Chain A
């Protein structure tokens, strides 16, 4: 068969709830002249830095057991979550004690780092081995520079809740400077995160925001939409993770934590729905002061519309949302043949 495709060389993964069967890369190549591999989001960091918890929280998965086994096949955290349409999340431990793991990492380096759209590297702020951490980070960057030089790099300084509050800014600034310096010539964006406050959600929202190709246009259209239907606030969520991509509000809202709260509530609801073998599609919450509608919008997004005028009937808003849907889907497809084909 000649040179086997990169995906076949990767070990079969321990799968989460839904595994979509992918067409073999050779078939795809026959259909499309351009290589249309699924792009990867690499989530990397030292073992114990919090990647698995982070992934579970953002993607609303149950935490997978540590399925690493010594031997010919090594199972890797590899989830087929459809994330922003065409991205697949790969989770890797860097620099574990396992020398076999290290060797594997070195020999399969090119496969791992090819077709990477995003590298998210997680640093544990409490780590006592700063030198080692930076060393592994740099070797990942080298591999990225060789195999996917256009990839976007994000560094998360995690577990910040374990640092005293008055020292957090200082420590984060120090780390950020070091990381920026080490990452040259590549650019990296740094965030400080903790799963116990809103920083994790905000960091991932920023990451998602930067991955959307025409996000400014999306925002402008969202604003027009909101003004036309006289909504108080309109939010656009990414479909798999409920991270806020963009929002428009026409007046000051009191609760700054509302985005993360809504995301957590809906993800919890989605978990309940999956227990009944149903899937969440839409929701309406209404009282005498407001009405809120959460509905599927485009293939990658959910929308939430908040109306404070109770005299507008639900049906009217729902029709408006349905009509806007077509318009926004067209926006997403504007990026040409490659993008459109991947939308299926």
Chain B
């Protein structure tokens, strides 16, 4: 560096020729200041001490930064060979803007609500979304299946649907060639099955939505017998839990275990109508069409599987609790267990205050959710068929008439929500819960040459279970 000064001065400011670009100057100083000709020099006060315990930029990120700078000098701008792909660049919330003067600050997250929810919030959101009207039919389902069988079926179905949900969540990561960050599950289906996949997933999604709306209408017309005041929606589930607990305390337990033979007041522990319970549970544990979106907002993405499992466990416990308590506390000496209605609130008289309040909560919850479901159904159906979510007022009018009409007809002629739930649940669960996740997993493993026979057998078995679940509903 001994000759640096004279050499650099020559390079930077050619004598007497001010039209030529003087080259890089020290930007900390004015160009008239003699110090601007110095090599870049940082004032000592601005240098972060190497003994600082708080590291602002990780070594890994700093190395990646240098690497990307260097590679960008090696290629022409049009050449994409050395441009960093998305999977090596840190996520937006890990990026700092680092000034050579020693300060660093974090970029604001530019996507709203991106990854801001803690695990607790995510678990609660999944639990809240999954708990739906099927909760009212669980005791009836247990009655149909038998007490012991019912409890076992609830736990097994919970595990099975959890596994399929896990497959749904992992499905995007098996696609390495395309950017899947904005995809929901129907997009994955479209990737693997082409337009058949897109249309069939749309169809099954509509089945679940319209089925839910019909159930809602039936229940709302039922609850409208009892008018009342308005309260918030999650509270209705908590209130149901309270109601059931209270009634169980008041009524006490009435359980007798007869394994195969029905008696005057009790049903056998194991009954052949247990598929009716599985049908109900398919819809009860259904969240597969929107789980990806729900988990996207989880702050720590690596906890996704754990949080999902916890949420499923909580939902299973809730169903078990309500189902078992209602079933067990149902006063069997005067009444037979067979009398448990498909909507267990129907077992209470209209004058019973506590169940009256439960109906009010549920009524309000449904009245607020019904238009939302209608909107989702309209967006999906009209959007795909006509390309526009609001083609004209006539299209929308006819669509709404159809939906509401279906609800009214069902309420008049077949107000058995247990039946509606199990048919629609088994139908749409067939696609989203059983067939698509397993099939897509098998196909992606096959594409990566990682397919083994045990995996094929296991997942084909799941598909067969789903089919059997649907077919058997029609025979019961």
- Name A residues whose Cβ lies closer than 8 Å to a Cβ of B: 52-53, 56-57, 60-63, 161-162, 164, 195-198, 254-257, 260-261, 264-265, 267-268, 271-272, 276, 278, 282-284, 287-289, 314, 318
Contact = CB atoms under 8 A, between A and B. Distances in A.
29 contacts: A52-B81, A53-B82, A57-B71, A57-B74, A62-B75, A63-B74, A63-B79, A63-B82, A161-B88, A196-B85, A197-B88, A198-B63, A254-B50, A254-B59, A255-B62, A256-B59, A257-B63, A260-B63, A260-B67, A261-B62, A264-B69, A268-B73, A276-B23, A278-B11, A282-B1, A284-B1, A288-B44, A288-B47, A318-B2
Contacts of A276: 11, 23
A261 B63 contact: yes
B60 interface: yes
Given A61-B74, A268-B73, 11 more contacts: A53-B82, A56-B75, A57-B82, A63-B76, A196-B67, A196-B88, A254-B50, A255-B59, A260-B63, A260-B67, A261-B62
Contacts of A257: 59-60, 62-63
Nearest to B79: A63
B176 interface: yes
Nearest to B174: A164
Contacts of B1: 282-284, 314
A265 B42 CA distance: 18
B87 interface: yes
A267 B406 CA distance: 72
Interface in B282-329: none
A195 B85 CA distance: 11
B44 A196 contact: no
Contacts of B229: none
Interface string B1-31: 1100000000100000000000100000000
Contacts of A265: 66, 70
Contact of A264 (B59, B70, B76): B70
Nearest to B61: A257
Contacts of B50: 254, 289
B84 interface: yes
A257 B82 CA distance: 20
A182 to B, nearest CB: 19
Nearest to A272: B73
Nearest to A53: B81
A264 B67 contact: yes
Contacts of B84: 196
Contacts of A268: 69-70, 73
Contact of B82 (A195, A198, A272, A284): A195
A232 B81 CA distance: 38
Contacts of A267: 70
Contact of A63 (B59, B81, B87): B81
B40 to A, nearest CB: 10
Contacts of A288: 44, 47
* Top-4 shortest CB links A-B: A257-B63, A264-B70, A196-B88, A268-B70
Contacts of A61: 74
A57 B74 CA distance: 7
Interface of B: 1-2, 11, 23, 42, 44, 47, 49-50, 59-60, 62-64, 66-67, 69-71, 73-76, 79, 81-82, 84-85, 87-88, 173, 176
A260 B76 CA distance: 23
A200 B100 CA distance: 27
Contacts of B87: 161-162
A238 to B, nearest CB: 17
Interface centre among B44, B63, B87 (most CB of A within 10 A): B63
B66 A261 contact: yes
Contacts of B75: 56, 62-63
A115 B1 CA distance: 40
Nearest to A167: B450
A199 to B, nearest CB: 12
B341 to A, nearest CB: 50
A57 B84 CA distance: 14
Contacts of A196: 64, 67, 84-85, 88
A61 to B, nearest CB: 7
A125 B62 CA distance: 27
Nearest to A128: B449
Nearest to A254: B59
Contacts of B71: 57, 195
B11 A162 contact: no
A198 B176 CA distance: 22
Nearest to A259: B63
A265 B62 CA distance: 12
A303 B82 CA distance: 29
A56 B82 CA distance: 10
Contacts of A60: 74
A61 B74 CA distance: 7
B178 to A, nearest CB: 13
Contacts of B85: 161, 196
A315 to B, nearest CB: 9
B88 A271 contact: no
Contacts of B64: 196-197
A62 B79 CA distance: 11
Nearest to B23: A276
B444 to A, nearest CB: 13
A116 to B, nearest CB: 27
Contacts of B176: 162
Nearest to A295: B1
B47 A287 contact: yes
Given A257-B59, A287-B44, A287-B47, A56 B74 contact: yes
Contacts of B60: 257
A46 to B, nearest CB: 16
A264 B88 contact: no
Nearest to A56: B74
Nearest to B50: A289
A275 B340 CA distance: 86
A195 to B, nearest CB: 7
A284 B42 CA distance: 14
Contacts of B82: 53, 56-57, 63, 195
Contacts of A195: 71, 82
A286 B76 CA distance: 34
A108 B69 CA distance: 40
Contacts of A161: 85, 87-88
B132 to A, nearest CB: 35
A32 to B, nearest CB: 38
Given A195-B82, A255-B59, A283-B1, A62 B67 contact: no
A287 B42 contact: yes
A264 B74 contact: no
Contacts of B42: 287
A283 B44 CA distance: 20
B5 to A, nearest CB: 13
A287 B39 CA distance: 13
Nearest to A287: B47
A272 B72 CA distance: 12
Contacts of B67: 196, 260, 264
